[in-house]
Structure formats: C-alpha cells, structure tokens
Structure 1
Amino acid sequence: MPPACYTDRLSVRPGERFVLHASATGPCRLEIARIGAVRETVLRLDGIETQDLPVPPDADRDGCGWPVVTGIEVGDWRSGYYDLVLTDAAGEAAHHFVCVKARAGAPGPRTVLVLATNTLHAYNYFGGANAYCDVDALMSRRLPLPEAMAGAIGRLSALRPFPPLLLSAPADMPRLVNLRKRGFEERPWAGADPAWSRAHGQSPYDGSAGFLNKWEHAFVAWAEGEEGLAFDYLTDRDLDDDPAALEPYGVVLLVGHSEYWSGPERAALDAFVDGGGRLAIFSGNTGFWKVRWDGPTMVCHKWRGQTAEDVSDPERTHLWSHPMFGAPEAEITGLSFIFGGYHRLGLCAARGQGGYTVYRADHWALEGADLFYGDVFGDALPLLGYENDGCALTFGEDGLPAPVPRLGVPRDLEIIALAPCAFAEPEDTGYRPLIPPEQLDVVAKIAYGDAGPAAQARVTRGHAVMASFRRGAGEVFNAGTTEWAHGLAAGDPFVTRITRNVLKRFGAA
C-alpha cells in the first residue's frame, strides 16, 4: 500500500502539539508547509520510522487505529492551511493537513476564513464509504450507483487519511463544470475533462471538497497575492468546540463548498451576524446539511436522519431546512440549494449561460464594475457550475426580481443577479443520468408542503442567485455559487471588482 497518514486533530495554535499516525515502509521524510499565495516550508524531519499496516475493516466508520510515528510542536507559525507531506524511501508521498489558528489573545487580522472541513469529512471515502456512497464498490464496479449509494454511512471517523485526489489534487485536476455548452443531440457529460478523470481513476466525489488546487486555495492565493490581504483561519470544528471562536473577528469568509454545519457552528454564525458581524459567502450549497460531532466521529445520516435516529433527539441530522429543526439555512445565508441547483453539469442547465445576468446594477456590490441591467458576466469562465444557491422569486412592477420569503429567505433580500439552475436532471430523456438522484419528494414537501409530482417538478426548476441582506446588526453577502474563486483565479475583472467591493464594505480589505 502507498504511504498514508492522518493527525489526531485538524486544528492547532502555536505552542500546541499534534501527532501524526501513518502506514508506510521504512524511514520517511516529513515536510510541513503553509499554503497561500506561495508555499512556505516551516519544518522538515528525516528518519521517521514507520511500518506498512493494513486498513482495518470499517476504517471509514471507526478510524484506522495506526500508531503514532511522530509528534510536532507548532512553532510561531502564522495562521493558515498547512500541508503535511510524508515521503517514503521510494519517493511516494502521502498528504494530510492541519489548520494553524492565531495565537490566543494576539492582535491580528479582523477577518477569518472558516475552512469547510465538515464537507471534507462527509466526502472522505478512505476505507470504503462516505456519507454518499460505498465508493469502493462503485469504483470497482462491484455495484451500480443506486446500490452503491445504499451503502453510504452515517458515522464518519476523522481518524483516518483522505484519498489523494480529494485532499491533494494536482494543479491540472479538472473542475466540476462543463466548460462548454452541450451540442445538439450530444451525449451529456459531467466535468471539465472526463478523459482526465478516467485516466487518473477519479471518483465522482474527489472534486467536491479539499483545499489544494481547489476553491479555498484559489481564493487565498488571490487575496494574499494580488490584494495583499491577511486572514486568520479556523475549521468548521473550531466553531463547534469553542462558542467564542468568532469573537475576535468582524468578518467571516466561507469559500467554495461549505455544505455541512453542526448545530454549534450554526449558532456561532447566527450570533456573529446578529451581533454586528459581516458574513461574506463565496460558496455554493452552503449550510445545506445538519451534522453533529461525537468525539472524533462526524454523524451525518443525510436523508436517513428521520429514520436512523431518535426522532425526539434535537441533534439528529438531516437538511437544515427540515421543519423539525425550525432553522432553515436561508435565515443566515439568504439562499438555499433547494431553490438553486446544478448548472452546466450533466443535463442540468447543460446549455446554460455559465454566468450571471445583472438585474440590480445600482447595488453597492457592483459599484465600479461596469455592469448594467441585462449584462451577463462570468459566462466565458464559466462562473456558474456545479452547485449554486437561490431563492423562490417573483417579479415586481418595476421589472426586478424579488424574493418570496419561504424557508427562511429574508423578505428584504436584495437580488443582484441570477441564472437558471436545475436541482435534478430531467427523467426519461433517453440519456444516462449522471448526477446522483436527490429525494425530490422530501425536498418538495419541505419547500412547498406537497410531495406530489407537480411540486417535485417545481423543485427541479431553480435559480442561482447573487444577493445581500441585513440581519440583526450585521450584514450578509452571498455569491451563490461554488465556482466564485475560479473567477478570481482567472483574473475575471467583474468577479474581481465585486469581491473587492464586498471585502471593502465589510472591512476585510
């Protein structure tokens, strides 16, 4: 087996210690580097003794239980994402990471980026399965997709490695978006380069989370490089463990795919904004699923949350929009994936425009962006793809879109721009489905109080929405798409100006 490793924790402060567990052959070298606009190596260790160990049964659920091979005391390292690279004598490498938080009580940036580590745990299939699927059975073709999805697990251990393409994607790994529109009668596909995916044995879940060469990395490289900005860093779990984690900050950034929130994390974000904080969301599918932590295990039963757990338990897991919680995510994000969906993926908006159409050109986020009513921006990238959030909407007599205040969507939400999305692929098209099916009856019941065919069809017709609103003493901006950071990486002038406007207004720049 190639080398593999994991840490006992994903978040540390300077002066604290973490340990590395590993399976490898012979003496190994460990390199630790901060990943931002540049790679900054902070530590190298040689001669780490290891042994080649099997992956235990149910490692996905129970962890690997491998021995500690070394312990690391964190020096005076600045806050950020740190790549851990364990290389064996043959030159094969394994990656893991830690998030270094700011030193307690030390003065620093007033902006914090919360890494979407819960999403990473949900997609982690090391040992076999993740919250979506028995991925090993799917990739080995032992089971077709529907049967493999039945093998999804609801308890996911953090004490195991991550698959390489999920955690440490190479720079040329394709995006989860179709870069061009589907041609006439062309067979649908999913992803920027299906040939690359086949050649590298990429699973359907590898592109959905992770830092290296993905959304958060692209955002940080832009911010630290071109803009000269400095942020502190936390993980999702930090908001779970420490109710005061956000107190030192005035701005919170969520980037890429912040899909899974625990109850304490949600409470921390609610309190932060209500108390005057600014929440800038450059993410899609944000806060969609409710999870909880049980020691080193993330509990995430997804659709099975109504049946797999005690219905009287207030911490059971399901969609945040489910009425049993009384706290739909749109109350804090303004938008929901329920009213959005996929764009340029499979048959979901397969010939979609790939960018936003501007409606409120006078909105503060568009100041100086040279954008006017009806303009489309981001279409050449494409800016819209993979997963996008939206809201139910209508058009007023002024010809502008207005929110329908349903499922927590704020009545005063200002819709800046939008584009059509699809929550699911249409049925009976003659083409093979490519996107794992959602439980449309459950979603329709939650969104419209009706699980019938007409309501299910209504769910499939959504919009990606860029919007802002005020809540309590604070304010929220939501870009509404997972792909926003790719616009920054590409140097798109519209995306860049809008991002600058948001960060400046919120006090992050």
Structure 2
Amino acid sequence: MIACYTNRLSARPGERVDLHATNDLAGECSVEVERIGAEIELVHQFDITVADHPTPSDADMNGCGWPAAGDFIIGKDWKSGYYRIRMTNADKKSTTHFVCVLPEKPGKNEIAIILATNTYHAYNYWGGANAYSHVTKLMKGQASFEDAMAQAIGTLSAERPFPDLIIAAPDDAPRLINDRKRGFKEQPWASDMNWMIKHHASPYDGSAGFVNKWEHRFAEWAEKNGIELDYYTDYDLDAKDDILQAYKCALFVGHSEYWSGKERDQVEKYVDAGGNIAILSGNTCFWKVRWENDGKTMVNHKWRGHTAEPEASKDDATHLWSHESVGRPEAELTGLSFVFAGYHRLGMCVSRGAAGYTIYRDNHWTLEGTDLFYGDVLGGEVPLIGYESDGCRFHFDEDELPVPIPMVGVPENLEIIGIAPCAFGEDPDSGYAPIIPPEQLDVIANVIYGDDSPAAQKKVLRGHAILASFKRGKGEVFNTGTTEWAHGLAAGDPFIDRITKNVLNRFTGKTGRAV
C-alpha cells in the first residue's frame, strides 16, 4: 500500500505543508505538485523517503497517525487554486492528495470560490466508514446495505488519505445522472453501472472531490473565459472570520452539502452587508457540521444528531440545518432546499424527465441576451437536472407565473425563473426495486409539515428543482438549484454560459459589459 495525506488542506504562499505517508516498499518516493485547472501545470518536484506504517483500525474516526515523511513550501508565485499532490514509489505505484493554495491576501481577485471540502470529508471512507455507511464492509460483502448504513460514523478524521475515485477520478468518470430517458418498461438504473463495476466503485465515489467533477469543470470554464478566482476551503471560512468581505462575489459549486455554523455565519453576514453569492450547486447547506481539534476532526452525526448529542446547544448540534434541534433552515440563506426537490433521471426518480428547466419568468435579469422565452427548456440536452437538486413549494399567481410559498425558510421575495419536477426518493409502490439510498422520510415530513404520517411522507416524494434569485439584506443570492450547472458550462451550452456571465457581471458590478 502507498498512501498519503497532508497536515492541512489549505495554505498561503510561503507556508509549509507536511506530507504524512506510508509505503509498503519502505523506500524513496517521488512527489509531484500540480495545479489543476484548464491546464495541468507542474510547479514542484522532490523526493522523500517513506517508511511502511500500520493503519489503525479506527483511522476513519481518529486518523492514521503516520509521521511526516517530508514537506514543501507553497511557492510565492503559485496562483490560488487546487493543487494535486502525487506520490509515486519505486514500483511505480502512485497515490494522490491535494492542497488548496489560498491567495496571498484576501481580495486579490473579485470572486472567491469556496471548495466543498466538508463534503469531501463526509464522503471519505478511507479506513472503513464515512458519514453514510461502513463502505469497506459494504463493498466486501461483509454487510448488507442496511447494516452498512447503520454503521455510519459521526466523527470523521481529516488526518487520513482519500479513496482514489473520490480524490483522483479518471477522465472517463461518469456523471451521476442517466444521460437518456428510461425506455418503455425498462429496468431503472443510475449513472453508468458498467463503469462502476469495472472500477469497483462504491455508491459514494462520485459524490465528492474536485478532479474531473463539478468544481474542476467550473475552474476550466472560468480560466478559459479569463475569470480569475481566489480559492478557499469550507474550513477556511470556519477558521477565520471576515474572509469574504474583501470580495464582490462568492461561489459555491457542485455539491456544497455540508456547512459548519461558523461558515454559515460568515456567509450570512457577508450577504447582509452587501455581498453576493452565486450557488451553482445542489443539495446546498443541507447538513450542519462542527469542526474540532484545530480542523483535524469533523463532527457530523446527520440523522442521529439530536440523539447522539442530546445536550448539544443549537450552535454545536449537528443535524439538518432545517431540523428543530438546529432551527436555521438553509433556505433562509440559499432561497431553496433539498427537502423540496431531490433527484431527477436517476433510478425511478423522474426517470423520463426533460433534464432541463422550463422557463417561466423570461424577463428576469439573469436571462438577458439568452434568447430564452416562456416555456422554453433550458439545459435538456446537457442534461442539466440530475443527481441532486434544490427547490421550494410554489403556486401560480394570476399571471400564471410561479411564486414561492414561504415555508421552512423559503423567502417570500424569491423570484422563480424556471422549474423542473424532482423526486425526493423512489415510490415504493412503483413495482421496481429502489436504487437511490432511502432517506428518512418521516424526519423530512416532520420538518416540512410538522407531520410524519404516511400521507405526509408520500407527499415529500414529489417536488421541483428551482432556478431562482432573491435579495437578502443589502446583498443578492442566485441559486441554480442543481449540482450539474458546471457540466452545462463544460458542454458549451450557450444559454447556461450567458446566464452565468450575466450573474457574475451583475455580482461584480460589470452589468452591461461582457465578462
């Protein structure tokens, strides 16, 4: 085995990064550090000697405890971005990790992108388990899916490597969406099952990580369009206050599912004071987490939050942001919530859906110059709606336009641009075996309706993804409501491209000029 991790996931130019590693050959390894964006740029190369170290049985919760095998200094000329660390031993076996290079000081550029590293940690099952299940036992056939899910852990160590398919997905890694509609009486499926079998992929590998996933696709698009970004991790917003105040716009891309209390406090303060956030993400800010041990431990009890730590205050509790034990629905900040939407074109979740937004409010500022009109479908060819989506309840006004129903934090002034049907889960009465992991429908029904009856749970299964914006305080929020927006940019869709540029122009004060 060869594996490595760093003592920190982000660092500024001039700061040192320690590399903790094990190598069963117990000898010299070469290390390459590359910036990953529109191009791959090798910035540093060095050799270290790495011994063979055992992996503790509780590494998933308490870390590996390997000594530092070497270190490197972030170069003064290294641009802010995602940097891959590749370590290779004498047998040519490699492992990868990463570090986010921060700007030398906040505000070097106008736009900050916050990498969804809390989500990376939640899905990380290196050493056994993650926040969802005991993945190793599941993949080895040592536990059923139900039993493996019961062995999910609520304390996750950052002092361990990541599985390769999370942190180093190959170029041909499939998206988490069915790229075509289900045929007549065809058995449902999810993603590319043949690829997953070939690569021994777990159900969790595609849901987090940078390389060849959402944030990477966005970074490529931004750099090709001359858009400079300053990079941060979720934990940076937890560890230091007021980072965002130096920026005109902050971005959350892909799958920004897990937020700490301090991170959310900072983002809300930023927007209320006049900052703008563009959420090009789905399932955003769904789970509340807590960082301990100077960023070495992420506490994330999920559904068990109120029972695992019954005495925890609302500031410390970990659960759904919308759960009564926390009491801060994410839609107060994001405008939308996963509880009102769910999945599209996965398994039996809207398996023959259009995979795009039907446009209703075609005079909205985001659509200027897009040539989109009432009833048009945005992104169906991409496909744009898939995997996880956020939405709200709504009704149609006297002008036959959708307007929000202000509940569970959804703001009354939300402007709904487009909608697409979603399903929070698969209907058990469909006649087809479910594929999507079951959620706690009783908990969600209670959050939405204050009622966990079977009828309320059934109602939870029906929802809509929403494309929307709204003003909060002195700032503004744009939300795509889908994890897949960056893939629309990667596909070269001219409508999605123009909408994104409209948003960034407005949010950086460049309205009327092309980005």
In structure 2, do the counterparts of structure 1 residues 312 and 152 end up closer, same or farther at CA, with 3 Å as the change threshold? Answer: closer
Q: 2:317 touches 2:325 (CA, 8 Å); kept in 1?
A: no
Q: Distance in 1 between matches of 2:180 and 2:312?
A: 48
Q: Which amino acid aligns with 2:94?
A: A
Q: Distance in 2 between matches of 1:177 and 1:136?
A: 24
- Alignment of 1:53 with 2:53, yes or no, is yes
Q: How does 1:58-457 map to 2 (within 5 A)?
A: 58-76=58-76, 77-104=78-105, 108-191=108-191, 193-225=192-224, 227-295=225-293, 296-314=296-314, 315-457=316-458
Q: Which amino acid aligns with 2:231?
A: Y
Q: Distance in 2 between matches of 1:504 and 1:92?
A: 45
* Secondary structure in 2 matching 1:49: strand
Q: Which amino acid aligns with 1:245?
A: I
Q: Distance in 2 between matches of 1:471 and 1:270?
A: 9
CA deviations on 1:175-198 (whole Å, 9 max, x unpaired) are: 10001111111111111x210110
Q: Distance in 2 between matches of 1:12 and 1:272?
A: 23
* Secondary structure in 1 matching 2:50: coil
Q: Distance in 2 between matches of 1:31 and 1:312?
A: 43
CA deviations on 1:441-479 (whole Å, 9 max, x unpaired) are: 111001111111111111110100000000000000000
Q: Which amino acid aligns with 1:210?
A: G
* Secondary structure in 2 matching 1:239: helix
Tell me the CA shift for residue 52 of structure 1. Answer: 2.5
Q: Distance in 1 between matches of 2:105 and 2:309?
A: 37
Q: Which amino acid aligns with 2:37?
A: G
Q: Which amino acid aligns with 2:239?
A: D
Tell me the CA shift for residue 283 of structure 1. Answer: 0.2
Q: Distance in 2 between matches of 1:429 and 1:506?
A: 44
Corresponding residue for 2:512? none
Tell me the CA shift for residue 44 of structure 1. Answer: 0.3
Tell me the CA shift for residue 168 of structure 1. Answer: 0.7
* Secondary structure in 2 matching 1:307: helix
In structure 2, do the counterparts of structure 1 residues 20 and 312 end up closer, same or farther at CA, with 3 Å as the change threshold? Answer: closer
Tell me the CA shift for residue 430 of structure 1. Answer: 2.9
TM-score normalised by length of structure 2: 0.97
* Secondary structure in 2 matching 1:458: helix
Q: Distance in 1 between matches of 2:492 and 2:279?
A: 19
In structure 2, do the counterparts of structure 1 residues 28 and 437 end up closer, same or farther at CA, with 3 Å as the change threshold? Answer: same
Q: Distance in 2 between matches of 1:55 and 1:348?
A: 40
Q: Distance in 1 between matches of 2:435 and 2:137?
A: 17
Q: Distance in 1 between matches of 2:248 and 2:269?
A: 12
* Secondary structure in 1 matching 2:221: helix
Tell me the CA shift for residue 310 of structure 1. Answer: 2.7
Tell me the CA shift for residue 491 of structure 1. Answer: 0.3
* Secondary structure in 2 matching 1:415: strand
CA deviations on 1:192-239 (whole Å, 9 max, x unpaired) are: x210110000100000000000000000100101x1110001000000
Q: 2:245 touches 2:275 (CA, 8 Å); kept in 1?
A: no
Tell me the CA shift for residue 15 of structure 1. Answer: 1.1
* Secondary structure in 2 matching 1:381: coil
Tell me the CA shift for residue 54 of structure 1. Answer: 2.7
Q: Distance in 2 between matches of 1:299 and 1:385?
A: 29
Over aligned residue pairs, what C-alpha RMSD do you find?
1.0
Q: 2:22 touches 2:51 (CA, 8 Å); kept in 1?
A: yes
Tell me the CA shift for residue 246 of structure 1. Answer: 1.2
CA deviations on 1:78-116 (whole Å, 9 max, x unpaired) are: 1111100001112111110011111136x6201100000
Corresponding residue for 1:5? 4
Q: Which amino acid aligns with 2:354?
A: Q
Q: Which amino acid aligns with 1:240?
A: D
Q: Distance in 2 between matches of 1:194 and 1:324?
A: 38
Q: Distance in 2 between matches of 1:459 and 1:432?
A: 19
Q: Which consecutive segments of 4 or more residues in structure 1 shift more than 4 A?
A: none
Tell me the CA shift for residue 253 of structure 1. Answer: 0.3
CA deviations on 1:45-68 (whole Å, 9 max, x unpaired) are: 02x111222321010001001111
* Secondary structure in 1 matching 2:252: strand
Q: Distance in 1 between matches of 2:439 and 2:327?
A: 22
Q: Which amino acid aligns with 1:488?
A: L
Tell me the CA shift for residue 381 of structure 1. Answer: 1.5
Q: Percent identity?
A: 60
Tell me the CA shift for residue 371 of structure 1. Answer: 0.6
* Secondary structure in 1 matching 2:246: coil
| Structure 1 unaligned spans of 5+ | none
Tell me the CA shift for residue 287 of structure 1. Answer: 0.1
Corresponding residue for 1:474? 475
* Secondary structure in 1 matching 2:408: coil
Q: Distance in 1 between matches of 2:310 and 2:297?
A: 18
Q: Distance in 2 between matches of 1:242 and 1:310?
A: 28
Q: 2:338 touches 2:391 (CA, 8 Å); kept in 1?
A: yes
Q: Distance in 2 between matches of 1:118 and 1:420?
A: 28
Q: Distance in 2 between matches of 1:254 and 1:312?
A: 28
Q: Distance in 2 between matches of 1:104 and 1:480?
A: 31
Tell me the CA shift for residue 276 of structure 1. Answer: 0.3
Q: Distance in 2 between matches of 1:486 and 1:223?
A: 13
Tell me the CA shift for residue 501 of structure 1. Answer: 0.7
Q: Which amino acid aligns with 1:197?
A: M
Q: Which amino acid aligns with 1:239?
A: L
Tell me the CA shift for residue 293 of structure 1. Answer: 0.5
Q: Distance in 1 between matches of 2:55 and 2:212?
A: 27
* Secondary structure in 2 matching 1:152: coil
Tell me the CA shift for residue 377 of structure 1. Answer: 1.8
* Secondary structure in 1 matching 2:308: coil
How many residues are aligned here?
504
CA deviations on 1:300-343 (whole Å, 9 max, x unpaired) are: 00000010003342211000011232211001100000001000
Structure 1 residues 499-508 or 167-176, which shifts more? 499-508
Q: Which amino acid aligns with 2:233?
A: T
Q: Distance in 1 between matches of 2:362 and 2:231?
A: 33
* Secondary structure in 1 matching 2:215: helix
Q: Which amino acid aligns with 2:396?
A: F
